[in-house]
A = this chain, B = another copy of it.
Amino acid sequence: MNFNLNYDNVAESYLFAEVANRVAKYQKAHPDKKVLKLGIGDVTLPLVPAVISALHSAVDEMSRAETFKGYGPYEGYAFLRESIAGYYKKMGVTLNADKEIFVSDGAKSDLGNILDIFSDDNVVLVPDPVYPVYVDTNVMAGRKVIYADATEKNGFLPMPDYKVDADIIYICSPNNPTGAAYTKAQLKEWVDYANSKNAVILYDAAYECFVSDDNLARSIFQIKGAETCAIEFCSLSKIAGFTGTRCGYTVIPAALERKGFNAGKAWLRRQSTKFNGVPYIVQKGAAAVFSEEGMTEIRQNLSYYARNAKLISECLDELGVWYTGGKNSPYVWLKCPDGMKSWEFFDYLLENAQVVGTPGAGFGKNGEGYFRLTAFGSEQVTKEAVQRIKSLLKK
């Protein structure tokens, strides 16, 4: 028996471990200091009442033989797929809930598992800096990974280069870690490029719910031509705080096929063979997110995080620090002041303001000299952290 030795080529990421390590060390040396964390990518607000109520009622259904649910549809219950289709309808995208929406336990699972339906000889294009999962999942399968440079010059939004031949293209907008978001016009250029190269775009829309500017895309299917070249991944993690409740969905247009090989049909085959659906209870909770009551409650949570992001970006505006994100994204990606390197600024901020963020260098070579702050903390912590950053950097 041979193991898959491609696993030996996956780079170990010490980013968050090293962050935790340095914070622990500092805290041990300064037990009296209160450290404020603006580094986390996890949500902090609890599930909204409409979701909680739906979860309780689904649990009750599981307690009685007459309403008990066993194996469900691999692609998710129709009630949830239809709710998701309704959500897309409001942003002007018409989807066939029966054939184009696939419910799963999260965007991360699907982003990894979708690669099953693609040949290992495809060339993969990812931005740098990047969410490491895009790279690692492909290295595990032995695929060649090439990079598109995201830099201050292009606002951390690389555009297609027709001299580069790519087969699988990852786009995350609004972006993790940079918070930068493509306009619809920019995304059209990527769609045209993909169609001309016979490529496929894997579009990570996990942060679409933070977009309020109409010029920015919330779904790649708002772009003409995407139906023949794109797959979209989305999640309830950020919109509804489902990071520990686990539900997401993938949209594969029926028109996405090559030489009779249909992507959606292959994905359903993959899921029906290696997956048994999302818990019924969770699907009921997820459907409540898209109800009128749920959406009203959720908008309050999103506004809460948006206010935190605004606090951070206004502080940077005042200090004259260059950054992306913060406006249509929970992430703020700033240029370290005084030419500091990412880890240098991490230590500087920890030691002098007791504020923790994430060094951009941990996301790729173009992240060096940059730093990520997130809006997912509490309002109180964010306010205090912003105050401290202001005092420190004004000096």
Q: Which residues of A contact B (CB under 8 A)?
A: 1-5, 7-8, 10, 42-47, 49, 52, 55-56, 59-60, 62-65, 68-72, 105-106, 108-109, 111-113, 116-122, 133, 136-137, 140, 167-168, 198-200, 241, 243-246, 258, 261, 263, 266, 269-270, 273-282
Contacts and interface: CB of A to CB of B under 8 A. Distances in A.
Contacts of A111: 274
Interface centre among A68, A244, A245 (most CB of B within 10 A): A244
Contact of A281 (B108, B200, B277, B281): B281
Given A199-B1, A275-B109, A46 B62 contact: yes
Contact of A56 (B47, B56, B277): B56
A266 B7 contact: yes
A85 B198 CA distance: 50
A315 B357 CA distance: 69
B3 A244 contact: no
Contacts of A49: 63
Contacts of A52: 59-60, 62-63
A108 B7 contact: no
Given A65-B45, A280-B245, A1 B71 contact: no
Contacts of A277: 244, 246
Given A1-B198, A46-B63, A47-B62, A276 B140 contact: no
Contacts of A119: 2-5
A1 B105 contact: no
A279 B284 CA distance: 14
B70 A117 contact: no
Given A46-B62, A281-B55, A69 B261 contact: no
Which 3 interchain pairs have the tightest Cβ spacing?
A112-B274, A42-B70, A2-B119
Given A43-B70, A65-B46, A245 B7 contact: no
Contact of A62 (B8, B55, B168): B55
A269 B10 contact: yes
Contacts of A45: 65, 68
Contacts of A46: 62-65, 68
Contacts of A280: 244-245
A225 to B, nearest CB: 15
Given A5-B261, A140-B273, A279-B279, 9 more contacts: A4-B120, A8-B261, A42-B70, A56-B59, A106-B276, A112-B274, A113-B113, A243-B276, A246-B279
A71 B44 contact: no
A122 B282 contact: no
Most buried by B among A136, A243, A280: A243
A3 B269 CA distance: 13
A289 B250 CA distance: 32
Contacts of A109: 274-276
A202 B136 CA distance: 25
Contact of A7 (B47, B200, B241, B261): B261
Contacts of A136: 273
A276 B246 CA distance: 8
Contacts of A44: 65, 68, 70
A234 to B, nearest CB: 14
Nearest to A201: B1
A198 B2 CA distance: 9
Given A42-B71, A261-B7, A113 B274 contact: yes
